[in-house]
Amino acid sequence: MHMYKIIEKKKNKLELTKEEIAFFVNGYVNDEIPDYQMASLLMAIVLNGMTDKEIVALTLSMANSGDKLSWKENSVDKHSTGGVGDKTTLIIAPIVSCLGCQVIKMSGRALGYTGGTIDKLESIRGFKVQLDEDTLKQQLEKLNIAIISQTKNIAPADKKIYALRDVTATVESIPLIASSIMSKKIASGAKNLVLDVKVGSGAFMKNITDARLLAKTMVMIGKEAGIKTVAVLSNMDQPLGQNIGNQLEVQEAVSLLNGNGPSDLRELSITLASYMVSITKNINYEEALKLVVEVLQNKKALQKFNDLVSSQGGTLDLDNKAKYQYKVLSNKEGYITKMDTATIGKISGLLGAGRLVKEDKINYYAGIILNKKINDYVYKGDLLATLYTDKEIDLRNDYLNCLTFSNKKVNNNIILEVIRWL
């Protein structure tokens, strides 16, 4: 087999075989295929697409390129395509684990304008995100839940290909994005999966048409790989909930588990958790929803979260200790109708909550609390948000520039669509 021939075939819009796909994935991981040939093939894929058969073959080849884990039939995972203020994992994982679903969540760190669950958990004093195999096993037996950082060699082919896509303008391709995400999920070994595909100004997918296609493609891959998969399309035209930033997001997650918290975060968390319970336990959505609401109301999910934190060595302290608090007051009147969510995420990063490059150090107390969101009516002088930071940087005007006002409300549902296992 020759890489040249494979590139040519894709250039001519012909379907690649399973063997050809395995050849270039393995060849690239083993340094037998150079970057320039791989980049050329990736660009041909971006331009000419892939059939479902090709997408599945690519996903499985990448999933098989490293360690493959396998959990029990009642194991369930959730994956979000990334947004701003998304702390749903901290809420959902304890809920579903209370209901007999096993959660072994391997999460990532923040990079760019989106946050990472592992950083959020590390904002809890003492919380250990790495557990050795025996400790993990014991914790799962006792609590049915663990949230850890990825230590295994999961889908190394995806890692290498993604790094190349990043510098060759070949990230934006539904077949490549879907296979990249799903290869990691398949190798991580959960038998049930709920995908939260974000759509809007703070998301990777800016419009519903692309998001729908991505969701359908990932659900199709899940089916072919024997993983029960549901995708929920959710609105990321504004940050999720009110708090952005690591410790501030833990605060909000705990508040929600305590029966408080903002309605968009509550609705999305309950919906995602209910689909996770429904597919894992083979019960209908309404039945699952009832169970989810019950463990929130009777605080069993909160107890599970507290047990998880202490089992992984953490001590919760919900006081924010940022040195400075800058209050952003409105200089306009009207309904907020748009929020530039990606820029708000970047502002939070600049305050100290995120990283521009992998080596940057996070300030766990930095972030933003939003007092007004889309469809709130605002008067001049109203408090829009508070910026928390240890730095002497004033980003209040940058925040104000992220908001658009109007005299009419706009459509603003959090759940946009659900794509079920086909």
Of 10, 120, 184, 373, catalytic: 184
Nearest approach, Cβ of 183 to ligand URA (angstroms)?
9
Nearest approach, Cβ of 158 to ligand URA (angstroms)?
7
Nearest approach, Cβ of 10 to ligand URA (angstroms)?
18
Q: Does 317 participate in catalysis according to the annotation?
A: no
Q: Which residues contact 260 (CB under 8 A, 6 or more apart)?
A: none
Among 55, 181, 322, 384, binds ligand URA (CB under 6 A): 181
Among 75, 117, 139, 180, binds ligand URA (CB under 6 A): 180
Nearest approach, Cβ of 206 to ligand URA (angstroms)?
14
Of 180, 183, 201, 269, catalytic: 180
Sites for ligand URA among residues 184-213 (CB under 6 A)? 204
Q: Does 165 participate in catalysis according to the annotation?
A: yes
Residue whose token pair is 């391709």: 173
Q: How far is CA 124 from the centre of its chain?
A: 20
Of 10, 78, 79, 228, catalytic: 79
Choose the stretch contacting ligand URA; rule: CB under 6 A; options: 52-60, 128-136, 177-185, 246-254.
177-185
Taking the least distance from each CB to ligand URA, the nearer of 129 and 155 is 155
Spatial contact of 195 and 79, defined as CB atoms under 8 Å apart: yes
174 is a site residue for ligand URA (CB under 6 A): no
Sites for ligand URA among residues 126-165 (CB under 6 A)? 162
177 is a site residue for ligand URA (CB under 6 A): yes
Residue nearest to ligand URA (CB): 180
Gap between the Cα atoms of 157 and 160, Å rounded: 5
Q: Does 125 participate in catalysis according to the annotation?
A: no
Q: Does 180 participate in catalysis according to the annotation?
A: yes
Directed axis angle between helix 18-29 and helix 156-167, to 10°?
Answer: 80
Overall size of the chain counted in residues: 422
Taking the least distance from each CB to ligand URA, the nearer of 171 and 393 is 171
Q: Give the binding-site size for ligand URA (rule: CB under 6 A).
A: 7
Nearest approach, Cβ of 42 to ligand URA (angstroms)?
11
59 is a site residue for ligand URA (CB under 6 A): no
Taking the least distance from each CB to ligand URA, the nearer of 110 and 181 is 181
Q: Does 79 participate in catalysis according to the annotation?
A: yes
Taking the least distance from each CB to ligand URA, the nearer of 120 and 165 is 165
Nearest approach, Cβ of 327 to ligand URA (angstroms)?
35
Of 77, 86, 119, 158, catalytic: 158
Choose the stretch contacting ligand URA; rule: CB under 6 A; options: 171-179, 225-233, 350-358, 402-410.
171-179
232 is a site residue for ligand URA (CB under 6 A): no
Taking the least distance from each CB to ligand URA, the nearer of 114 and 269 is 114
Taking the least distance from each CB to ligand URA, the nearer of 94 and 354 is 354
Gap between the Cα atoms of 103 and 122, Å rounded: 19
Taking the least distance from each CB to ligand URA, the nearer of 172 and 287 is 172
Nearest approach, Cβ of 108 to ligand URA (angstroms)?
9
Nearest approach, Cβ of 171 to ligand URA (angstroms)?
6
- Return the closest-CA partner of residue 253 out of 92, 402, 373: 92
Q: Active-site residues: which are they? A: 79, 158, 165, 180, 184
Which residues here bind ligand URA, judged by CB under 6 A? 162, 171, 176-177, 180-181, 204
